[in-house]
Structure 1
Amino acid sequence: MPPTPDAVSAALKTATSYVLNAVEVLRFGGLQTDEDPSPFEIVARRPMFRLRRYYPPSAANAELDGAGEGADAQPRPPIVLVPPMMISADVWDVSPSTSAVAALHEAGMDPWVIDFGAPDIEAGGLERTLTDHVIAVSDAVDLVTTATGRAVHLGGYSQGGMFCYQAAAYRRSRDLESLVTFGSPVDWRGHAPLGIPEEVVVTIARIVADYVFADRPLPGWLASTAFRLLDPIKTARSQVDFLRQLHDRDALLGHERQRRFIGGEGFVAWSGPAIVDMMRQVIIQNRMMVGGFVVGEHVVSLADITCPVLAVLGEVDEIGVPAGVRKIASVAPGAEVYEFSVRAGHFGLVVGSTAASQTWPTVAAWMGWREGTGPRPDGIAEVEPGAVVDSSPTKAIMLAADGAVQVAGLGIGAVRGVGKLAVGTLKATRAVGHQALHAAPRLIRLGQIQPRTRISFARIMTERARNQPDDACFLFSDRVHTFSAVDTRITNVVKGLIAVGVRQGDHIGVLMETRPSALVAMAALSRLGAVAVLLPPSQSLPELLRLSSVTDVVTDPEHASKVSEAGARALVLGGGSERDLPADLDAGVVDLEQIDPETVELPRWYRPDPGRAGDLAFVFFSRSTGIWQTKLVTNHRWALSAFGTASAARLSSESTVYCLSPLHHPSGLLTAVGGAVAGGSRIALSRGFDPATFDEEVRRYGVTVVTYTWAMMRELVRQPAPPRRSHQTITLFMGSGMPRGLWRRVLDRYPGTRVLEFYAGTEADVVLANLSNSKPGARGRPLPGTSEVRLVDVDPDSGAITAGPDGFAIPSEVDAPGVLLTRPRLGVDASVRQLRGVFRPGDTWVSTSDLFERDRDGDFWILGAASAVVHTAHGPVYPVQVADALGDLPEVDLAVLYEVPGADGPVAVLAATLWGSDPISAADIGGALASVPPAARPDLVHVVSDIPVTNWYRPDAGGFASRGLPKAGTRTWVLDADTGGYVRLTKAVREGLVPPTS
């Protein structure tokens, strides 16, 4: 049957409309809608942005570039809206029917929008960084606050919401009534788009940061294409639907501006530096989660956010994954966090019919509620920090009824499946060789060091400044010091030292509080080739200066007068705004800060970083039995500890090492600072260990590794854990000397962490490390690349090395005491006493003078220093062994062994403090010390009110020893020789232990 005239006419009309509309699309890029955008005025212009005010009350408020005088008396609550970097500010006003600014204005709000412009046509736009955007948001808040005279609500879409979080943390929530974010993930690394595994996300981010956008931007057309490719099926379906309806102009006009926006008109270029910064801070280092986010010269944490937060999330959003969006509750424990869930994808949260009907009415109601002018809006729910949710909305997509959406879900699932398959091999490789992969270059470098190899603290700092100049080196007082800036400062201090007569090889004292200038001083002396003599803050300063033959001391203003009074020349460095030096300095004080480095002419003998492996680099002091002794550390020994620490702790540029160890203690410079520098990690410095502020500083700096010495963490675990603790960033505690009982308490307070206990000789080429969490108290095994070690038998009475019939030393058996020997890798070192012919003629070994046992697995357990062993009539008693055994009791805090004279020779006394109010009994003590061989148990055990610690938190028993035998009573027990247990000490028994007097 032939078509009717009406059908033919309709077909021709449809074809004609199709052709006409197609020509219009080809000519203009889309259909002309004749829709007018919402009215706005640009009220401020800055290099980074233009500030739009929509529906302005009058033209009189057109510019705020002057003094900002006058305040808008309009009662409408202001909200500042922030777009993502690669999407134009028009996202807030795509079309009249879905316009965010129109909807908010109609609801009684005062909408403002930040317009970053198009970076590729803005002056310097392609050089913009992440910091530039965050500070721009903060500046805009100040402008709006000035104009309106009130705190503002701050809202951001996608990455714009991330800017809002970062700016709020940067401002410590000042002048912010609330935050509203739309599809803005906080954990983009752990909850990536399409459920891509974390390993793949980080790998891609590294490639993007290091090779793709290191020197080029992301064009707007590519940003648009990438956005659409995130959901290729939906994009293709939209294009097909558009072509099928191209004849029906009226059906298309309602969505035309939205289609053109997504199709490319709404996308702008993304500057390369900003991309690189985002890849590194947000994804690779995960700074929004762990803290330590760098904004210019400041370091911030999202834990600094205290204003209320409303996180709007899409149930089927595969870009701002709901689980990653909800993480704001975990990292901002001081904020009330709410969520509003919308059945929409990423773009549909802010543009489209769903946004018009759900998002904007709820946001307006939220603002009214926070302003106190309306009730709490329906549909919002408070988010707890530990909220758990499916990591990806794909499940929701698969359950959707619409067949096409099901297909899209299957497509996304396939993409995810490919991603998981691709990362399978990577996971297996990491599981087998992760540690070796990261440690190999450092260990190879250690193995290549020879006596004349140029290696030093300053040389490694130079390498860091060359390879990662813009990375943070020090974090101190919420300020960031980059490797490049620190390197420049070191060079300037070198010029100052040369100007006052310091030469290569000179021994120069360093007496400073823990601060960046202290490390700069040490690095400057290393760069100069001088020896840094690290002086502890002590009343014995004159004695230490004589002992080390030091006449010049680099010091901070706080110690300048003490140095001068002790007879040395004080070279004052640092102090910042707290400097307090008189204008007329005496001859014993030189202010290095007053020397202009530009005027210093470097002498011909100067060569930067001349230090070789065999050269002396540092001198430390230790005090044993009341006598000060010097400990000499070569560049090789510093490198051994530094690279060994970095390898064992897996330190990298993602790590932040919290340096709590005093810098005058070997573990401070060799382990904490050395390991961080060798690993390219950030060093967070504290003015002093303060348990009350520990958790706050850890969150702010994003600390992943905490250093300690001896019982330092004891005061920390006494503090109650925060009731609503944020996301835990610490993964590792590392140091030396932690008592075994304290070790367990640290792990209880910080579950999921581990303790890395080191033993590193300052004068011996040995580094032991306990890489396992299964053996608290063990010192572990020698690190690869370090020197060979042996345990040899010693005489139980004299402590001397026992020789066999052939005259050579006798290796210790498993679980038997022995002194630890190490073979120098670089040959004979005159700075320490050598042992020759130990195992064969002519061999060379060095004694650590520390006693150990080695278990069947090959792990070493320290018993104590040979000088601290108490040689009783029934055998030697080892201080660490008995203190750790008694410390295994949950009621015991610290324990320390000391020697007092007795009637039949030395008496071994173990003093202990209690943890809490529960007492201990003789049975408790006997049970705890049952693991110690009977001959090695202490003669007496008593409870004391306090055990003092040294400046580096080592338990000090000197005061107890001077008091003699403890008194008899209910808190003192004596060893029963017959049973091996303990009974209460009576006066009669005590009298039998008292030595005869003349």
Structure 2
Amino acid sequence: MKRPLRKVSGRISATVTNALEVARMGGLETGEEPAPYAVVAHSRVYRLRRYFPTEAPLDKSVLLVPPLMLTADVYDVSPQASAVRTLRAHGIDPWLVDFGSPEKEPGGLERDLADHVVAVSEAVDKVREVTGRDVHLAGYSQGGMFCYQTAAYRRSKGIASLITFGSPIDLRGAIPLGIPENVAVKGAGFLADNVLRKTSVPGWATRTGFRLLDPVKSLQQRTDFLMALHDREALLPREGQRRYLMSDGWVAWPGPALAEFMNQFLVHNRMLKGGFTIGDQLVTLADIDSPVLTFVGEADEIAPPDAVRPIRKAAPRPDIYEMSLLAGHFGLVVGKSAMTKTWPVVAEWIAWVSGGREGAPPEAISLVGSETAEPAPPVAPAPSERVDLVVAAGTAAARSLVNSAAKSARGFGRLAKVTSTQSRRLSRIRRIDEHTRLSLALLFDEQARRAPQNVCFLFEDRAFTYADVKDRIDNVVKGLLNEKVRAGEHVGVLMGTRPTALGVIAALNRIGAVAVMLRPGGDTLLELELGEVVRVITDPEHADVDTGGRPVHSFVLDRPGETVDDTPTLERPGNDVRVPDWYSPNPGKGGDLAFILFGGDYSHPRVLRITNGRFALSAFGMATSAMLTNADTVYSINPLHHPSGLLTSVGGAAAGGARLAMASGLDPETSWSEIRRYGVTIVSYTWAQLRDLVNAPPHPGEHDHSIRFFVGSGIPRSLLRRVVERFAPAGVLDFWATSEGEAILANIDAGKPGSLGRPLPGSAEVRVVRWDAEAGEIVTGPDGYAIECGVDEVGLLLARIGPASATTAPPLRNVFERDDRWFSSDSLVRRDADGDHWLIDLLNTLVRTNDGVVYSLPITAAIGKLPAVDLAITYNLPAPAGRDMAVTAVVLCEGETLTATDLDSALAGLDATSRPSLVGVVNEIPMTEFHRPIAGPLRDKAIPASTAKRVVFYRDDSTGLYAPFTRTVRKRWFP
């Protein structure tokens, strides 16, 4: 009896003694010493450690990066849980980036994301300098995210490989506790913008937050420790690890860095999409080409597998390998399994990559996306860690239930968000009239006031915030006022694609002047005359333009206040310009003329007068139809002097608070890299502009791209089909607008490809009236008013001229009632039972044959449905006898052929007299500068007979079917 009592008494005594030590010292004294290291470099942000400095250097090394919320000792928790000791034992020389404890470092709590990424990049250079070799860069949790970001920032220069442990790419997949995505994103955005930029998160708060992610496991760990408190010898081997994770390892998280982390990578998900910024430099993981090894914890609740594995989508270029472990987040790098499985595999990986990847990779890893390699099964944990996994599995199950319950809520949340956002925009569109104060410059001011630090403009890998853009516009305004530019004055703008041009246009708009967008390469003198231009602003490339004596102000680019080659810049920072008393920023109203653009070819320019109201309709129409938010990036591939560049791209981005990325064109070789680097979600286009992208060979950047919509107008049916097929899930949002006036139609129904859609709310009223094609006039009733068409009846589309409209063509008056005014679109359409409009033809492309009028566009659309067809155009050609005949020219996709049977099938839905007389395969269809197919050069060429190399078919009037246009038939047709 005495022995059991003595045993119990001893356990109590040992428990009390150990408890007092824990209370006094924070834990049990182990007598353990950390692994030796020397600080070989340091800056205000980091210290570079080299471990085991007195031992002989090894020929393979790794640079370790910790996450912000943990100290750098996460890689050396104790001798039993030391990554650096294990690596050294396996022949790897460990280096480490130590960010220190920010709360103890001068300015540490003010560090931002760029500070840390640049610090890691500098450390890479230091290690390369010392070792003479490229660096294997390894990071845990957010440290792994820093590794990805640094590799992208450097475009993999000097980085031999990347190794990450539980490092999420898609943070939307790491939202804890089943919180609905829209709630988490909105909450994170609010915290980032309103709280974290001004404060920091202390270490105790981070530690508590992580415990709350898995409260059951946290409670069990504390209970296990208390229950074993009597057995000091059993606790000591794990005491260092316990103290680190429970108290000693946590440090403060700098507010600015956390704000950027949440804003860029959770709210906007730019690790996955691309387009995040390091300082003002644009970065995308798609620029990484170093091989990647990622460790995935199947029981990781902090960085779940679904959040980690999208590295394949974000970085399509490098080979990516994976090791899956049945472990939680900390178990990937700390604990017995990490010492026996994780770090030995890391050493094998480094040796394999350093040896040129000859032979087989480490057995425990698998190549992601390989069609031949079987994924390696998750590696089982050590027995001592299995209890943790049972608890983690229970937490995961609970999380799954909560997620299932929240699924419907998330759906309703997204719907509510979209409805709320678009309702506000639609309401604003409906309020636009000739008295509404609204302009491009005002939109920039509104966004700068709402979110000054949000990125506004992206150009040549640099990012400019709304605050930056507003400051620059204001400085240009002062320069313009100093040159006596006045409200209402017509000022020519002749500039290339760059931020300066956008600043000049917005500055003129802010003053209330009219920006006349001159076309480089056009007939400048003629456009100056048509635009009633008083003075011209150019960039240096166009400074020697002949303006017929008008003053020229050359804008020195990107050098505010400087004088270059005796040319002063218009941009005037500071307060040295006296602002005239009459100046009031953004005076423009809906009915005021804001821009003059030019359409047509260079020798016969057509004036397009754009009011502030018309600009606003286009801008908000684009933002509403594409559901733009500040998470979007609009990729403009057309210049500012083109309606697509100014009205759709610039206007839509400004109205939607989205980022605008401006390129000088769509080059398949470079555009995908830019799309990934900018994080593009919307690509603008005109006519057949996307054709080069569709016809180009597959590019690594197009896989798992971030594009939601291609937005533009006039896309041919054949091209639309191939764009949707190749770049799914991206859709095509096609607009149609009158060249003047305020009529805008948009097709937002994916089930009706090729439709013009319906009028945007707030745009001009449209009606379809009967049209006598032979007589070329509107059909009127006995009362003299126009007769509206019924459902599916082809007629002329008219748009009502509102008070804010500006047109050069004479209006049509008294069309439906006395004194009304309408604008002819010169387009024949039909309206279906749903109210959607379908373009049938333009008045100037009708084909007048002996059998009557033939509509060209239905023919082109029907033939364009054939999978073999790349592009087609239908036009009129003088017939051998009598009136014109319809001819269709076809360009085939590479390697495809066209048969008479194909044509019979494609055109079966048209009446025999509505089909083309001839269909010929050509090498290319001529296009305008902005990719609109034109028939003129084709019409000037004779139609050849069909041969093996030249495929031409004719419609046999006796059968209605198509047959080869042989020499015999040709002679009969053209004697």
Mapping for residues 384-423 of structure 1, pairs under 5 Å: 384-385=368-369, 405-406=389-390, 408-423=392-407
- 1:177: Cα distance to partner? 1.8
Distance in 2 between residues matched to 1:396 and 1:74, nearest whole Å: 34
Distance in 2 between residues matched to 1:214 and 1:595, nearest whole Å: 31
- SS of 2:104 mapped into structure 1: coil
Partner of 1:927: 905
Map Cα deviations across residues 412-455 of structure 1 (whole Å, 9 max, x no partner).
32233224323423313545x56433311111111122312110
- 1:499: Cα distance to partner? 2.5
Distance in 2 between residues matched to 1:732 and 1:385, nearest whole Å: 27
- 1:80: Cα distance to partner? 1.5
Partner of 1:795: 772
Map Cα deviations across residues 15-44 of structure 1 (whole Å, 9 max, x no partner).
222222222222222222221112222222
- Give the partner amino acid of 1:15: I
Partner of 1:39: 36
Contact 2:173 2:304 in 1 (8 A): no
Q: 1:162 aligns with which of 126, 139, 145?
A: 145
Contact 1:779 1:859 in 2 (8 A): yes
Distance in 2 between residues matched to 1:758 and 1:158, nearest whole Å: 45
- 1:285: Cα distance to partner? 1.5
- SS of 2:67 mapped into structure 1: coil
Contact 2:676 2:701 in 1 (8 A): no
- Give the partner amino acid of 1:950: T
Q: 1:255 aligns with which of 238, 241, 245?
A: 238
Mapping for residues 569-968 of structure 1, pairs under 5 Å: 569-573=551-555, 575=557, 583=565, 591-592=568-569, 598-623=575-600, 627-722=604-699, 726-826=703-803, 833-902=810-879, 903-963=881-941, 966-968=943-945
Contact 2:292 2:320 in 1 (8 A): yes
Partner of 1:66: none
Contact 2:299 2:327 in 1 (8 A): yes
Q: Which shows bigger deviation, 593-602 or 869-878? A: 593-602
Q: 1:299 aligns with which of 259, 282, 304?
A: 282
Partner of 1:424: 408
State whether structure 2 residue 546 is matched by structure 1 residue 564.
Answer: yes
Distance in 2 between residues matched to 1:53 and 1:401, nearest whole Å: 31
Map Cα deviations across residues 165-192 of structure 1 (whole Å, 9 max, x no partner).
0001101111112211111121221354
- 1:991: Cα distance to partner? 7.8
Map Cα deviations across residues 845-900 of structure 1 (whole Å, 9 max, x no partner).
33222221112222111123323323334333333332222222233332223334
Partner of 2:227: 244
Distance in 2 between residues matched to 1:817 and 1:656, nearest whole Å: 39
Structure 1 pair 841/171, CA: closer, same or farther in 2 (3 Å)? same
Distance in 1 between residues matched to 2:212 and 2:824, nearest whole Å: 65
- 1:908: Cα distance to partner? 3.6
Structure 1 pair 136/828, CA: closer, same or farther in 2 (3 Å)? closer
Map Cα deviations across residues 480-525 of structure 1 (whole Å, 9 max, x no partner).
1222112211122222222333221111122222222222221121
Partner of 2:419: 436
Structure 1 pair 583/378, CA: closer, same or farther in 2 (3 Å)? closer
5+ residue gaps, structure 2, are none
Map Cα deviations across residues 937-963 of structure 1 (whole Å, 9 max, x no partner).
444433333211111111122223445
Distance in 1 between residues matched to 2:508 and 2:439, nearest whole Å: 11
- 1:709: Cα distance to partner? 0.4
Distance in 1 between residues matched to 2:782 and 2:379, nearest whole Å: 76
- SS of 1:238 mapped into structure 2: helix
Q: 1:381 aligns with which of 361, 365, 368?
A: 365
- 1:298: Cα distance to partner? 0.9
Contact 2:433 2:804 in 1 (8 A): no
- Give the partner amino acid of 1:305: I
Partner of 1:64: none
Q: 2:348 aligns with which of 350, 365, 369?
A: 365
Distance in 2 between residues matched to 1:786 and 1:160, nearest whole Å: 51
Contact 2:181 2:410 in 1 (8 A): no
Contact 1:541 1:566 in 2 (8 A): no
Partner of 1:68: none
Partner of 1:497: 480
Partner of 1:62: none
Map Cα deviations across residues 102-150 of structure 1 (whole Å, 9 max, x no partner).
2222333222222212222322222222222111111111222223332
Partner of 1:124: 107
Partner of 2:256: 273
Distance in 1 between residues matched to 2:571 and 2:130, nearest whole Å: 44
Contact 1:731 1:753 in 2 (8 A): yes
5+ residue gaps, structure 1, are 59-72, 585-589
Mapping for residues 133-148 of structure 1, pairs under 5 Å: 133-148=116-131
Partner of 1:26: 23
Structure 1 pair 724/184, CA: closer, same or farther in 2 (3 Å)? same
Structure 1 pair 145/396, CA: closer, same or farther in 2 (3 Å)? closer
Structure 1 pair 26/164, CA: closer, same or farther in 2 (3 Å)? same
Structure 1 pair 93/727, CA: closer, same or farther in 2 (3 Å)? same
Distance in 1 between residues matched to 2:385 and 2:571, nearest whole Å: 75
Structure 1 pair 567/716, CA: closer, same or farther in 2 (3 Å)? farther
Structure 1 pair 269/861, CA: closer, same or farther in 2 (3 Å)? same
Q: TM-score under structure 2 normalisation? A: 0.93
Distance in 2 between residues matched to 1:967 and 1:254, nearest whole Å: 89
% same residue: 46
Distance in 1 between residues matched to 2:213 and 2:731, nearest whole Å: 39
- Give the partner amino acid of 2:398: A
Distance in 2 between residues matched to 1:708 and 1:980, nearest whole Å: 38
Contact 1:194 1:319 in 2 (8 A): no
Q: Which shows bigger deviation, 851-860 or 203-212? A: 203-212
Contact 2:476 2:572 in 1 (8 A): no
**Pairs aligned (count):** 967
Contact 1:910 1:938 in 2 (8 A): yes
- 1:199: Cα distance to partner? 4.2
Partner of 1:319: 302
Q: Which shows bigger deviation, 591-600 or 538-547? A: 591-600
Structure 1 pair 273/794, CA: closer, same or farther in 2 (3 Å)? same
Partner of 1:534: 517
- SS of 1:114 mapped into structure 2: strand
- Give the partner amino acid of 1:779: L
Q: 1:57 aligns with which of 39, 44, 54?
A: 54
Partner of 1:7: 4
Distance in 2 between residues matched to 1:124 and 1:954, nearest whole Å: 57
Q: 1:232 aligns with which of 197, 215, 218?
A: 215
Structure 1 pair 120/779, CA: closer, same or farther in 2 (3 Å)? same
Contact 1:514 1:688 in 2 (8 A): no
Distance in 2 between residues matched to 1:278 and 1:536, nearest whole Å: 42
Map Cα deviations across residues 780-807 of structure 1 (whole Å, 9 max, x no partner).
1122332322111111113322111121
Q: Which shows bigger deviation, 166-175 or 113-122? A: 113-122
Q: Which shows bigger deviation, 838-847 or 24-33? A: 838-847
Structure 1 pair 647/833, CA: closer, same or farther in 2 (3 Å)? same
Map Cα deviations across residues 601-658 of structure 1 (whole Å, 9 max, x no partner).
2222222211111111111111179632101110111110110111111111111111
